[in-house]
Every structure is written in structure tokens, then in C-alpha cells.
Amino acid sequence: MPEDTVHADTPAEARIAAARGSRNDHTRRRNLSSLLTAVHYGGPLTRAQLTRDTGLNRSTIGGLVAELSELGLVVEDAAAETGTVGRPSHIVRPRRDVVALALHADVDALELGAVGIDGAVLARRRANLDAPPTPDDAAAFSWEAAREVAAELGGVRAAGIGAAVPGLVGIDGATVVDAPHLGWRDVALGERLRGALGIPVVVGNDANMGLRAEWSFGAAKGVDTVVYLNGSASGIGGAALVGGRMLRGGRGYGGEFGHMMIRSDGDRCSCGRRGCLETEVNAALLDEAAHDAAALDRFAEVLAAAIANLECAFDPDAVLLAGYLGALFDVRRELVTDQVRAMAFRPDAEDVVIARAALGGNRLLIGAAERAFAPLLRDPAGTALAALA
């Protein structure tokens, strides 16, 4: 074997899963997780539906729902009118007072929201800024805004806080490795927020969280394989969902499609290379060309080339466009679609749906909250909630 053969210190995920033995109580945990996850994504569901969806026995579902109810995570309503024969089934719904906080740190604003476990944004605070925020600004704002939001909502319990940042975030979900537009390098934002708020923190790249939101409640709800491109003031962010899992990468830097080379003789990019997607189509260029049809056509073609390349690599079920790329797509929908299909080299290219993202201004808050909810969804009985005074 070559000397530079790679061997993992820790076995790959698949092997960990294989290696870890399964004990009897794992079954319970998993089933509790199944139910909470089901009502999280699917909204209020009857116990009968849960029985069918999970394949578990009625009696088991009864016990599980009772436990989730005792944990204060769901409530059971009496059945509404069903329209069908037979005893009506209880309706299980996630409790709205179980929330996650979500912070979005952007170049020109800080925003914090409280998101219910049903995915609804319940309250929000925003601070518009003249200069990019420092990590201290972010922590101070979070503390203040969290207090206000908690007061507004009154007696909610939080699973944690998710923070969306325009930049590279380490695989640890805590360190902002490089956020050039904020001027942050190697910032331990996780620790900072944890210190300020005293609840679990998870930090992530904004594009990743945007896609997560769209996958959970938006235009790509439940789709297995999705490529996502977001155009914003801080460049083009990318993310991908592969087989139902977020593409993370070895260090957490996966999905940086903004620096995909799209024109080998293009302009020099801030990253040092030439013809990156982000230098070929960006906010400034689009603003300049707002009423220049030919220029818009050109940009649309560049976007189409990028999408074609990504389809090549990922063979996605859907490609989602957000921010100014979504706007560009809206005015050049046919051109983009046709170009992508013309450039696709594989069969069934027309199966790939290209669409604009759906969730608008709530997207990042929802996505960040989703990540904060994740541990609770994985282990409902073993994850503590913090009372938010």
C-alpha cells in the first residue's frame, strides 16, 4: 500500500453504527424519537396515523405517547370530527411552549427568533447595524433579545440555540473558522453564546441551515437529495443534502459551491482562483444589470452552467435557489431550465426540479432552530429543556 494511505483514527460513521451494540432501551429511545419526529415534521397526527406510520402496536403507541406527554413535549387533544366510522383517534400535537432559539448573524443585522417545535416562528427581535457585528455584539444581543422574547412568550422551555453564520464553521458546530464578511476568524462562538445564555448552542453555516429549513418545512420538504444555492450580500453560499443527510465534509466545509470554477478564463476571485461562480454572478453585478436583458441572460447562463455541473456531481432530485439567485431564476426561469437540460449529459434530466426556495425571511431562523432541536428529536427522554424565564 502507498505510504500516504489514509486510515481513519475514528472509524467511519457506518462502522461506528455497526460496531456499537444495541441495547434494549435503545429501542424505546428510538421509538420515542420516531413519534416526536413524526409530529415535528408532520404536524398534529392521530394516534391511529402514528400506529400506521411506524408499524408499532396500538398499545405501544399508547405508552409512548403517554411518556412524551409526561415529558411535556406533546399534548393529546380529543379527536375532531373524523368523517369515518369507528372510535375517533386522539390527536397528538407538539407543544408550542417547547421552543428553540435561533440567531442569525449577518453583515448588516443581528436577528434572534424563538421557533416552536412545530416549526412556527413565535417571536423575533432584530437589530440593524451600520458595521458588521463582533462576536461580543452577537452574544450581548442574544442575551438581551432572548430575555425579551422569553418575556413576550411567557414561560417557554428551550432545547437550545442555533446560530447561522455566513462563513466556514468547523465540524464541531461551535467554532467560526472564517467568516470574511463579518471579519471573524477562529471565533469560539459556541462557547460565547453558551456563556451568555446557558443553553446548548450549535453554530452552523447559513447556507446549510437554509437548506435544512427548506427540507424540513419548505420547498424541498422531505426530498432525499437536494442542491441549494443562495445568493446574498456575503456571496454565494451552497449546501447539499445527500441521501437525506446534510453534506458536511471532513472538516465541516462541504458545499462551498460559490467557489466552484465556472469560467476558466474568468475574473480573479477573492479566494485566489479564477472564474468562481461567486465572481461571475453576484449582487453588485446583478444590480448594475437590473434592466439589461442581455446581461440577465448571460447571468442566467452562468447559473445554468453551475447547476449542470452540480447535477453531474450530485444527481439531485431538486435544485433550490434562494436570495438573488432565486430572483434571477424567477425572471429567467425558462432560459435556466432549458440550458440546464441542454447541458445535462444524462437521461431523465427533466426529472430534476429546479425551484425557488420558499421560506423567505424565516428560513435561517427555522433552519438554525432545527439544528438546535435535533438532539431533542433524537432522544426525547434524555435531553433536558431549559426554562426560559
Partner DNA sequence: GATAAAATGTTCCGGGAGAGAACATATACC
Partner DNA sequence: GGTATATGTTCTCTCCCGGAACATTTTATC
Residue ranges binding DNA (CB under 7 A): 21-25, 27-28, 31, 46-48, 51, 55-64, 79, 81-90
Burial category of 25 from C-beta neighbours within 10 Å (exposed 0-12, middle 13-18, buried 19 and up)? exposed
- Residues shown for the chain: 389
CB of 337 to a second copy, least distance (A): 10
CB of 159 to a second copy, least distance (A): 17
**Residue 230: strand pairing partners:** 237, 322
Tell whether residue 373 is a contact of a second copy (CB under 8 A).
no
Tell whether residue 179 is a contact of a second copy (CB under 8 A).
no
Tell whether residue 23 is a contact of a second copy (CB under 8 A).
yes
Q: Which does 314 bind (CB under 5 to 8 A by kind): a second copy, DNA, none?
A: a second copy
Burial category of 288 from C-beta neighbours within 10 Å (exposed 0-12, middle 13-18, buried 19 and up)? exposed
Tell whether residue 121 is a contact of a second copy (CB under 8 A).
no
Contact between 64 and 122 under an 8 Å Cβ cutoff? The reply is no
Tell whether residue 111 is a contact of a second copy (CB under 8 A).
no
Q: Which does 38 bind (CB under 5 to 8 A by kind): DNA, a second copy, none?
A: a second copy
Q: Which does 130 bind (CB under 5 to 8 A by kind): a second copy, DNA, none?
A: none
Task: State which residue, 195 or 382, has the beta carbon closest to DNA.
Answer: 382
Q: Which of 229, 233, 103 is nearest to 176 (CA)?
A: 103
CB of 375 to DNA, least distance (A): 19
The helix/strand/coil state of 130 is coil
- The Cα-based distances of 299 to 228, 237, 335, 356 in angstroms read 17, 17, 10, 16
> Near a second copy by CB under 8 A, which window of 77-85, 117-125, 195-203, 259-267?
259-267
Burial category of 250 from C-beta neighbours within 10 Å (exposed 0-12, middle 13-18, buried 19 and up)? exposed
CB of 317 to a second copy, least distance (A): 4
Rounded to 5 degrees, what angle do the CA atoms 342, 348, 352 make?
Answer: 80
**Residue 124: strand pairing partners:** 113
Tell whether residue 275 is a contact of a second copy (CB under 8 A).
yes
Task: State which residue, 84 or 264, has the beta carbon closest to DNA.
Answer: 84
Q: How many residues bind a second copy (CB under 8 A)?
A: 101
Tell whether residue 67 is a contact of a second copy (CB under 8 A).
no
The helix/strand/coil state of 15 is helix
Cell numbers at 154, concatenated: 411567557
Cell numbers at 210, concatenated: 437554509
Contact between 282 and 231 under an 8 Å Cβ cutoff? The reply is yes
> Near a second copy by CB under 8 A, which window of 69-77, 79-87, 194-202, 252-260?
252-260
Tell whether residue 371 is a contact of a second copy (CB under 8 A).
no
CB of 68 to DNA, least distance (A): 12
> Near a second copy by CB under 8 A, which window of 53-61, 96-104, 143-151, 290-298?
53-61
Binding to a second copy in span 292-351, by CB under 8 A: 305, 308-310, 312-318, 342-343, 345-348, 351
Inter-axis angle of helices 293-314 and 333-343, nearest 10: 40
CB of 353 to a second copy, least distance (A): 5
CB of 60 to DNA, least distance (A): 4
119: left (phi over 0), alpha (psi -120 to 50) or beta: left
Q: Which does 47 bind (CB under 5 to 8 A by kind): DNA, a second copy, none?
A: DNA
Q: Which of 192, 193, 190, 239 is nearest to 218 (CA)?
A: 239
Tell whether residue 361 is a contact of a second copy (CB under 8 A).
no
Q: Which does 84 bind (CB under 5 to 8 A by kind): a second copy, DNA, none?
A: DNA
Rounded Cα–Cα distance for residues 306 and 266 (Å): 14
